[in-house]
Structure 1
Amino acid sequence: MYEEALPIAGRPEKHHVQTTFNYWDDPGDGSKPTPIVIGGGRISNRRPHLPHDFVVTDISGDEDKYTLDGHGFQYCRHKSLEKDFVDEHAIQTLYYDECRQLLKEVTGASRVYIFNHKVRRGPTQWHHLGFSNLANRGPVTRTHVDQSYDGAELRLRWEFPEKADELVKRRYQIINVWRPIATILKDPIATADSTSVPDDDLVAADMTEDGFQGEQWVVRHNPAHRWYYKNQLTPDEVLLIKCFDSNTSVARRSLHSAFEDAAHRDKEPRQSIELVLGSASSTFLLVSLRQPDIDKLRGSDHPTDIIAMYHPR
C-alpha cells in the first residue's frame, strides 16, 4: 500500500541546494548528439555537456502537490520487503510484484509487465572506469529523458512487434520507479517540472542498448527550468518519474539528473534501484488497452492495462 501524501511530523526544514546541472553542449550547427552505446558490460558516452547554475527546491512536506500528470513526477511512501537488492531472483520476483501493485494503485491499472531494472552503487564518475563499467553503475549526472516521443514508440514496437500497430492507438506511458537502497545524502536525484520545459529544449539522441536501437532526449540549457527533489529520501519512499506519455493533455515527460549537494560531497556513494527499477529504480511501459484516459477509468468496470517489459541483464 502506498500513501499519496507523505505524513509530516511538524513542518520539515527545507534544504534547498545551489548546484549545477550538466546540459548538452549544443554545437549550434544542427548536428545530432553523439550516440550512446551500451552492451558487452560497458557503456560509451562521449556527449559533451556544460554545467549551469540552478537552485533545486526541496519539496519535503509538500510532496502531495506534485503529480505524474501535473508535473511529470510523484513521490509515494511505499515500504518494500526487499532491503539489500543483491539477489536477482528476489528482485525479479518479490520486488517486481511489489512494484506491479504500486503502479496499479497509483494509476488504476489492472496489469503491469516490467522490462528493465538497474541497481546503482558505483561512484559518481563511473562512466570513465573503462571496460565493465556497467558493473559499477553510479548516478547519471547529465540532464536527460530516457525515451524521446519517437523512442517510446520504438520501444513499444521492439517489445510487441505483432501487437504494436494496435497498441499505439491507445494511451501508453513509460514510468521509472526509483527507490533508495539507503537514505540518500550524496548525489541525490532531481526532476524538472514538465510545464517548465518546452519541447523545443529537447533534442533527440540515439542510444543503443543490447541490440535495441532506441532514442532518448538530451536537453538544451534553459534558465526557466524548475528543478525539485526531496531531501534525504529514504528506502521507504519511491520517486515515480514519467519518461513518456502518449496523452498530450497531461505532463508527458520529466527531465531528471543526479546533482551534487556540497553539504554531502564527502559521503559514501549513494545506492538506488530503478525498475525501468544502489538507489533503486524501475521502468514500466504502460499501455491502456481500452479507454485512452486512465483517470476516467478509476472506479469503472474497464480497468487500464499497464504493460512494462523486462529484459534480463
Structure 2
Amino acid sequence: MEGKQDTESEHGANHWPTIESSMYYLDQVPLYNIEKPYSMRYLPEEDIPQSNYVKVKRPISARSMREPGAGPFRIEECGFQMIDIHSHLTYDEFWDNERVQSVYIPEVKKALKLELGAKYVHVLDYAVRKRHESFPVSTGKEYQYDQPTALAHIDFTAKEGERIIRVLFGDRAEEVLKGRWQAVNVWKPIKGPLDDWPLGLCDARSVDFANDTIPGDIVFDDFVTENLQIFPSPNFQWYYVPDQSTWEALMFKSADSDETAVPGCPHSGFYNPHAREGNLRES
C-alpha cells in the first residue's frame, strides 16, 4: 500500500499489514424494495434478464490477520477463523475428483468435527478454482476452471439451510433440526504461498445484518438456492491472510440455527495490487 512499509511475516515473506483495494457489493437501489435479487446460472429462453443485480464498487482496507493485535479470530465471535489441514493430496491430485472425494473430503470433515465439536458433518459441495490471467476481464468465452468470486456475499440463509437439511435427511430431518446446525465453508490454497486474489473475510461484528444484507436467489436450470447479498457499509472490517500456505484453511460461517449466534460471514475474493506477477490463484 502506498505510504506504508511492508513488514516481515512469521513465514519469512514480505507482506502488507493493510491492502487498499476494492470490493463489489449489491447497490442499495429502490428496485429491491419490490423485486428480490436473483442471478440465473444459465441462459433463460424467455426474454428476461439473466440477473437483476445492480453492483457497486467500493474501496476497502483489508487488514492482515497476521498483524499483532489483529485477532484472535474465532468463528463464534467474528464468523471466521484459520485452521490447519495438512492434506495427504499432492497438488496434481486436487484436480482428480475421485481423490478429492476419497481423501480430501474426509480430511475436511475430521477437521470440522475437531474444531466445532460437531457430531456429524456432511460435505454438500466443493469447487476447485484456477484464476485465468485475464480475470476479472472477460475473455468472451467460458473459462475452463471456476474463477474467484468478486461480489461480497454469504452462501446461505438460515431458511435455505433448513431446506437443504430436509432434502439431505428426509424422514430424519425433523430430528436433525431439533439440534443446532451450521453451514460452514472451508477455503484454502492448492498452491502457495497465495497472495493473488486472496479471500477477504468481513468481521461479522461490523455487520448490521438487518440493514446490510438481503436474501437473493441463485437460480439453476433445475433448482433454486437462497443466499445473502451484501450492501456496502463504511463500518465493515475486512481481513485477509497474506502469503497463505496450502495447509492454512479459512473456516467461515454461512448460516446458523442459533438465532443468538453470529449468523454468517460476508466474503469475496479481491484484487491485491502487491501480488507476485504470474502467481495466479489456485484454491
Q: TM-score range by the shorter chain?
A: 0.7 to 0.9
CA distance in 2, matches of 1:265, 1:119: 21
Contact 1:45 1:127 in 2 (8 A): no
3-state DSSP of counterpart to 2:171: coil
Which amino acid in the other structure matches residue 98 of structure 1? E
3-state DSSP of counterpart to 1:221: coil
Give 2:54's match in structure 1, choosing from 29, 48, 52.
48
Contact 2:15 2:242 in 1 (8 A): no
Other-structure match for 1:143: 152
3-state DSSP of counterpart to 1:267: coil
* TM-score, length-scaled by structure 2: 0.83
CA distance in 2, matches of 1:55, 1:203: 23
CA distance in 2, matches of 1:10, 1:126: 30
Tell me the matched-pair count.
Answer: 262
Contact 1:186 1:264 in 2 (8 A): yes
In the TM superposition, residue 128 of structure 1 has moved relative to its aligned partner by 4.5
Give 2:79's match in structure 1, choosing from 72, 75, 78.
72
Other-structure match for 2:18: 16
Other-structure match for 1:172: 181
Which amino acid in the other structure matches residue 20 of structure 1? S
In the TM superposition, residue 208 of structure 1 has moved relative to its aligned partner by 2.5
Give 2:275's match in structure 1, choosing from 264, 278, 299.
264
Contact 1:12 1:61 in 2 (8 A): no
Structure 1 residues 32 and 269, CA, compared in 2 at 3 Å: closer, same or farther? farther
CA distance in 2, matches of 1:131, 1:182: 25
Alpha-carbon displacement from aligned partner over 1:222-270 (angstroms, at most 9, x marks no partner): 1001111111111011000111111122212000011111112843430
Other-structure match for 1:26: 28
Moved more, 65-74 or 162-171: 162-171
CA distance in 2, matches of 1:161, 1:129: 43
Contact 1:191 1:257 in 2 (8 A): yes
In the TM superposition, residue 35 of structure 1 has moved relative to its aligned partner by 1.8
Contact 1:12 1:60 in 2 (8 A): no
CA distance in 1, matches of 2:141, 2:203: 35
Which amino acid in the other structure matches residue 150 of structure 1? K
Other-structure match for 1:82: 89
Which amino acid in the other structure matches residue 197 of structure 1? V
In the TM superposition, residue 130 of structure 1 has moved relative to its aligned partner by 6.0
CA distance in 1, matches of 2:235, 2:258: 24
In the TM superposition, residue 46 of structure 1 has moved relative to its aligned partner by 5.9
Other-structure match for 1:216: 227
3-state DSSP of counterpart to 1:111: coil
Contact 1:158 1:212 in 2 (8 A): no
Tell me whether 1:188 sits opposite 2:198 in the alignment.
yes
In the TM superposition, residue 152 of structure 1 has moved relative to its aligned partner by 1.7
* TM-score, length-scaled by structure 1: 0.76
CA distance in 2, matches of 1:69, 1:126: 33
Give 1:60's match in structure 2, choosing from 66, 75, 79.
66
Q: Which has the higher strand share?
A: 1
In the TM superposition, residue 109 of structure 1 has moved relative to its aligned partner by 2.0
Other-structure match for 1:36: 39
Structure 1 residues 103 and 120, CA, compared in 2 at 3 Å: closer, same or farther? same
Which amino acid in the other structure matches residue 196 of structure 1? S
Backbone CA RMSD of aligned residues: 2.7
Which amino acid in the other structure matches residue 67 of structure 1? R
Which amino acid in the other structure matches residue 158 of structure 1? V
Gaps of 5+ in 2: 1-8, 44-49
3-state DSSP of counterpart to 1:262: coil
Structure 1 residues 37 and 163, CA, compared in 2 at 3 Å: closer, same or farther? farther
CA distance in 1, matches of 2:207, 2:71: 21
